[in-house]
């Protein structure tokens, strides 16, 4: 009887299908202190949404913002922290939720550098996501932050950059893995109906900011454009408002005699209707990382005129570039665009075509490779194939020299504005 039972047990074991233990998920937390309207928030929303669909990944957003927009994917867990105790709270999250990788994005805050270093002490994996350009430190004269950031990024497991130029710079600065990864597009260009371009509306979208975005310059350009072509064009300015700087911009509008042609519209959650009615997008930034509004304007077939940022990937094709601070040439280019709708459509179509360089599926595939490599070793990270063609060291050195000179000139310009009382 015993032998029969034993035989029966052995037979069951022999023919029982093997059940593999389910591998634990890799838990990834994107840290963004403030989750308000802006490009970083849109990128975070898209990345967490698409990465949450990757088999074996679980996604989190860590933020101080309690009123999170309703477009966050239902598969993404939002965890709130107190900014005053951010490092302590995130350490608790690390342990409680067993987070494997933190993606730290607050590149302009001291707390970001502190957080990266503390997380590394706790043996967490860290990806530093640099949403702006290295040249930011030159224009803002943020030497202390620059040195803190360099020290923190040297400890991070990888640094994500929004341009090939920045990736090369960070590879040299930190002597470790730094990768170029373009931002995801927030739309499918094929699903967007191009703007008619029939109205003489000039559109500017960006926060009210003297150093980077420089919202007062489009007002000066509007005056020149309307004088050149008798266009009676309108300038619409959208973006988070700084009351002091907005007052200054309104003063510039009065001095230029274009008060009735400038609309200060503040932050707008939905910019689609403004893009649909625009004829030209103008950008006067001194520096950018990967300006999402340029990609959006291209999708709508809107011609774009901006000041030269040779390193910026989204502005390398399908835009009209002028030299930094060349207001006269920028005015001339906008005047030519406003003269004929056919020319506007030609330049707008060039922009739409250039978006083919950016493939969301490929970008998510690269992020997936990066996350899996970070979980293994830095050597694996360094072996990830670059996105797009490599840029030469010589080109990076030339661009760095040009931006250094431009930043020095700009610092003098701002100093002169304040010392003469033109800007309070």
Structural domains in the chain, sorted by start: 26-180 (3.40.50.2000), 189-357 (3.40.50.2000)
Quick one: angle between helices 39-51 and 292-299, nearest 10? 80
pLDDT of residue 207: 78
Give the DSSP H/E element, type plus range, for residue 321.
Answer: strand 320-322
Asked if 157 contacts 376 with a C-beta cutoff of 8 angstroms, the reply is: no
Give the DSSP H/E element, type plus range, for residue 305.
Answer: strand 304-307
- What are the tokens at 356? 């083919």
pLDDT of residue 416: 74
What is the C-alpha separation between 84 and 82, in angstroms, rounded? 5
Q: pTM for this one?
A: 0.85
> 237: helix, coil or strand?
strand
- pLDDT profile of the chain (424 residues), mean per 10: 32 40 83 82 92 96 84 91 92 96 92 94 94 88 89 93 93 83 87 93 86 88 93 91 84 94 89 94 91 93 96 94 94 96 96 91 93 85 72 92 89 71 56
Q: CA 325: distance to chain centroid? A: 23
pLDDT of residue 419: 65
Sign of CA dihedral 107, 113, 119, 123: positive
Pairing state between β 280-283 and 304-307: parallel
Asked if 251 contacts 218 with a C-beta cutoff of 8 angstroms, the reply is: no
| Buried b / exposed e along 173-183 (16+ C-beta atoms within 10 A) | bbebbbbbbbb
Asked if 35 contacts 69 with a C-beta cutoff of 8 angstroms, the reply is: yes
pLDDT of residue 6: 30
């Amino acid at each position: 009887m015993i032998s029969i039972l034993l035989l029966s047990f052995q037979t069951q074991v022999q023919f029982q299908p093997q059940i593999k233990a389910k591998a634990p998920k890799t838990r990834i937390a994107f840290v963004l202190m403030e989750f308000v309207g802006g490009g970083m928030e849109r990128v975070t929303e898209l990345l967490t949404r698409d990465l949450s669909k990757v088999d074996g990944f679980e996604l989190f957003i860590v933020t101080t913002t309690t009123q999170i927009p309703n477009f966050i994917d239902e598969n993404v867990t939002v965890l709130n922290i107190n900014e005053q105790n951010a490092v302590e709270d995130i350490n608790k999250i690390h342990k409680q939720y067993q987070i494997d990788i933190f993606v730290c994005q607050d590149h302009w805050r001291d707390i970001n550098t502190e957080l990266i270093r503390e997380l590394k002490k706790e043996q967490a994996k860290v990806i530093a996501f640099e949403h702006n350009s290295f040249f930011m430190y030159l224009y803002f004269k943020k030497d202390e932050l620059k040195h803190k950031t360099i020290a923190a990024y040297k400890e991070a497991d990888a640094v994500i950059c929004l341009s090939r130029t920045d990736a090369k710079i960070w590879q040299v600065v930190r002597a470790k893995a730094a990768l170029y990864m373009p931002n995801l597009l927030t739309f499918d260009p094929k699903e967007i109906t191009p703007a008619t371009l029939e109205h003489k509306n000039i559109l500017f979208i960006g926060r009210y900011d003297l150093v980077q975005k420089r919202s007062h310059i489009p007002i000066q350009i509007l005056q020149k454009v309307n004088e050149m072509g008798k266009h009676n064009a309108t300038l619409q300015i959208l973006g988070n408002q700084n009351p002091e700087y907005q007052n200054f911009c309104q003063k510039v509008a009065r001095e230029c005699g274009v008060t009735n042609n400038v609309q200060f519209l503040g932050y707008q959650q939905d910019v689609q209707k403004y893009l649909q009615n625009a004829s030209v997008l103008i950008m006067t930034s001194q520096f950018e990382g990967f300006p999402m509004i340029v990609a959006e304007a291209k999708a709508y077939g809107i011609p774009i005129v901006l000041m030269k940022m040779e390193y910026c990937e989204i502005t390398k094709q399908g835009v009209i570039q002028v030299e930094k601070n060349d207001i006269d040439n920028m005015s001339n280019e906008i005047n030519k665009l406003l003269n004929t709708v056919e020319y506007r459509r030609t330049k707008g179509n060039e922009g739409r075509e250039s978006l083919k360089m950016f493939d969301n599926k490929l970008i998510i595939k690269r992020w997936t490779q990066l996350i899996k490599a970070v979980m293994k070793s830095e050597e694996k990270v360094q072996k990830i194939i670059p996105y797009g063609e490599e840029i030469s060291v010589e080109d990076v050195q030339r661009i760095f020299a040009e931006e250094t000179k431009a930043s020095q000139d700009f610092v003098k310009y701002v100093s002169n504005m304040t010392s003469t009382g033109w800007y309070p």
